Amino acid sequence: MQKKSGDGFVVKPGYVLVGVLVVVVLVMFSFFAGYGFRDMVTGTPSKSAIYPLPPIAKLVQSKGAAVPAYDPDVKPYETINEVMRAIHEHFIKTDVKDRDLTYGAIDGMLKSLGDRFTRFMRPEEYEEFEIKNQGEFYGIGANIDVISDEKTGKTVPVIIRALEGTPAEKAGIKAEDRILKIDGKSTEDMASGVVVSLIRGKQGTPVTLTILHKGATKPVDITIVRDRIELHPVEYAMLPNHIGYIQLQEFNEKGDRELDKAFARLKADGAKGLIFDVRSNPGGLLEVAISVSSRFIKSGPVVSTKDRKGNIEKLEADASRFLNLKIPVVVLVNKYSASASEILAGAVQDTGAAKVVGEKTFGKASVQILVKLRHGGAVALTTAKYLTPKSRDITEVGITPDEIVPADETDKDNGAGTGKGAQFQKAVEIIKAQINKTASK
């Protein structure tokens, strides 16, 4: 039997039942969806929200693109172009630059290699790198490295040393201070080159660093006026008991040249022993590391390199650089002595040319090349690892000194100077003992 609705349409009884069920389902869906929406807004879980709603999104495709489909033959660079096109067409910000996207992609590309020393240098960073090698720049005057935070796993820049007489030292910046922000910009996971480029700038201009001093719980903002920083990688002095002291801050060509003057002066002044200080020295050029080591080692390998194919090349001492000092030598190192500093420490330790005193070194056994790019930047790529003369691999392990002496506060405050810290005093003690032993024979 059929019934007519009020508007004259014929409705079958079965359809009425279906319609009622549809209404009930819609009401229930609205009920649960409402809870899901409330959860998404308030962040409060609801026991009734069995199926939480996904984030609000809609499927789109780039202009002129084909219907999205899985294509295993798509080249990686094509995917990058797709993403960049999608960003320009749909991202909420309209001022995104291709340069920034490209630099970010390069940073991510190099980070995926799993080598923290391989890095991209933007044009301004490479320019600063070149300036530093020439021996002067405009900045605050501090050595900076990037380390991993034990708690967060993120990287953070840390002060290795504030150079004497520089704006950084005058502002109270000290070794092991952490830089959390630069002019309000977070430094978390920031590449070391970026950190340096942000801190350096025109002479007379200010930069504000948010600093967390060692042992402090709250950071402080310190504003420093940039100034001309002239680098002299070598400092030397004659200490009591005719003990010569040389401190090398970086293994570059200028430092290699300045060493000649330092050695000659100390020899003329009658040095009976020598402390060679590479604490907080981050490294430098491989060629200079060999040249410096050759002052103490007459012949044989200074270091060996092992490339990605397993080929090993032994790099011999340069006999023309050998000084034949005939006096006891102590090489001072700490946990920030890296790369070329470790080549020197490993070479004199393995050959017996000097005693190594201080803390276990950084453990950077990487040989790198610098590939200059046409746009003005460069890529520093790790191409091999190096081994000590006795074929020790110190990667992530470092050089263990002959005499382990933890740094005290005096060592930390004056880590590369002629202070009276525990490490420095141990070096003096060893040299005096050797001088007395020789004199008693």
pLDDT tens-digit readout, 256-277: 999 999 999 999 999 999 999 9
Question: Residue 52 above 80 pLDDT?
Answer: no
Q: Decide if 305 is inside a domain.
A: yes
* Count of Cβ atoms closer than 10 Å to residue 355 Cβ: 20
Q: Decide if 109 is inside a domain.
A: no
Residue of 197, 294, 337, 339 marked catalytic: 339
Same domain membership, residue 343 and residue 224: no
* Count of Cβ atoms closer than 10 Å to residue 171 Cβ: 17
* Residues 6+ positions from 399 with CB-CB distance below 8 Å: 333, 337, 342, 345, 346, 349, 356, 360, 361, 388
Q: Decide if 81 is inside a domain.
A: no
How distant, in Å, are the alpha carbons of 108, 283, 289, 335 from that of 340? 27, 4, 5, 14
Residue of 350, 355, 366, 411 marked catalytic: 350
- CATH assignment at residue 178: 2.30.42.10
Tens-digit pLDDT profile for residues 355-392: 999 999 999 999 899 999 999 999 999 999 999 999 99
d(CA 277, CA 415): 9
Same domain membership, residue 277 and residue 243: yes
**pLDDT at residue 17, rounded to an integer:** 39
Question: Residue 141 above 50 pLDDT?
Answer: yes
d(CA 58, CA 388): 59
pLDDT band at 57 (very low <50, low <70, confident <90, very high): low
Question: Residue 290 above 80 pLDDT?
Answer: yes
Greatest mean pLDDT among 53-62, 376-385, 432-441: 376-385
**pLDDT at residue 25, rounded to an integer:** 38
Same domain membership, residue 393 and residue 263: yes
**pLDDT at residue 212, rounded to an integer:** 96
Half-sphere exposure of 95 (CA within 13 A, CB side): 0
Same domain membership, residue 282 and residue 377: yes
Q: Which is higher by pLDDT, 92 or 29?
A: 92
pLDDT band at 14 (very low <50, low <70, confident <90, very high): very low
Residue whose C-alpha is closest to residue 316's, from 327, 307, 328, 304:
304
Question: Residue 40 above 90 pLDDT?
Answer: no
Same domain membership, residue 425 and residue 277: yes
Residue of 256, 293, 364, 426 marked catalytic: 364
- CATH assignment at residue 350: 3.90.226.10
Work out the mean pLDDT of the chain and round it to a whole number. Answer: 84
d(CA 43, CA 97): 35
Q: Decide if 300 is inside a domain.
A: yes
CB 143 within 8 A of CB 160: yes
d(CA 423, CA 284): 24
d(CA 432, CA 213): 37
pLDDT band at 438 (very low <50, low <70, confident <90, very high): confident
Same domain membership, residue 370 and residue 293: yes
Q: Which is higher by pLDDT, 398 or 57?
A: 398
- Which letter, b or e, does each residue of 403-427 get, where b requires 16 or more Cβ atoms within 10 Å of its Cβ? eebebeebbbebbbbebebbbbbbb
Active site residue 364: yes
Largest distance between two CA atoms of the chain: 130
> Given the structure tokens 């570059």, which residue do they identify?
252
Examine the fold and report which residue of 230, 248, 275 is the final residue of a domain before the chain moves on: 230
CB 262 within 8 A of CB 240: no
**pLDDT at residue 64, rounded to an integer:** 56
Partners of 357 in beta bridges: 332, 403
Question: Residue 50 above 70 pLDDT?
Answer: no
Same domain membership, residue 168 and residue 43: no
d(CA 396, CA 75): 36
**pLDDT at residue 54, rounded to an integer:** 52
Same domain membership, residue 246 and residue 202: no
Same domain membership, residue 285 and residue 218: no
Tens-digit pLDDT profile for residues 416-429: 445 578 999 999 99
pLDDT band at 46 (very low <50, low <70, confident <90, very high): very low
* Kind of pairing between the strands at 312-316 and 136-139: unpaired
In DSSP notation, 336-374 reads T--THHHHHHHHHHHHTSSEEEES------EEEEEEE-T
Percent of the chain with pLDDT over 70: 81
Residue whose C-alpha is closest to residue 119's, from 145, 82, 83, 149:
145
* Kind of pairing between the strands at 119-121 and 378-387: antiparallel
Same domain membership, residue 387 and residue 373: yes
| Residue 50: burial class (beta carbons within 10 Å; 0-12, 13-18, 19+) | exposed
Q: Which is higher by pLDDT, 252 or 440?
A: 252
**pLDDT at residue 58, rounded to an integer:** 65
pLDDT band at 49 (very low <50, low <70, confident <90, very high): very low
Same domain membership, residue 395 and residue 255: yes
pLDDT band at 242 (very low <50, low <70, confident <90, very high): very high
Question: Residue 5 above 50 pLDDT?
Answer: no
**pLDDT at residue 66, rounded to an integer:** 56
The distance from CA 310 to its chain's CA centroid, rounded to whole angstroms, is 26
Q: Decide if 112 is inside a domain.
A: no
d(CA 115, CA 386): 15
108-129 mean pLDDT: 89
Question: Residue 198 above 70 pLDDT?
Answer: yes
Examine the fold and report which residue of 230, 264, 279 is the final residue of a domain before the chain moves on: 230
Residue whose C-alpha is closest to residue 213's, from 187, 190, 180, 254:
180
Q: Decide if 339 is inside a domain.
A: yes
* Residues 6+ positions from 27 with CB-CB distance below 8 Å: none
| Domain span at 186 | 136-230
Q: Decide if 4 is inside a domain.
A: no
pLDDT band at 414 (very low <50, low <70, confident <90, very high): very low
Q: Decide if 299 is inside a domain.
A: yes
Same domain membership, residue 274 and residue 329: yes
Total tally of structural domains belonging to the chain: 3
* Count of Cβ atoms closer than 10 Å to residue 63 Cβ: 7
In the chain, the amino acid numbered 357 is V
pTM: 0.68
d(CA 260, CA 356): 22
Instruction: Give φ, ψ of 169 to 5 degrees.
Output: -65, -40
Examine the fold and report which residue of 171, 202, 230 is the final residue of a domain before the chain moves on: 230
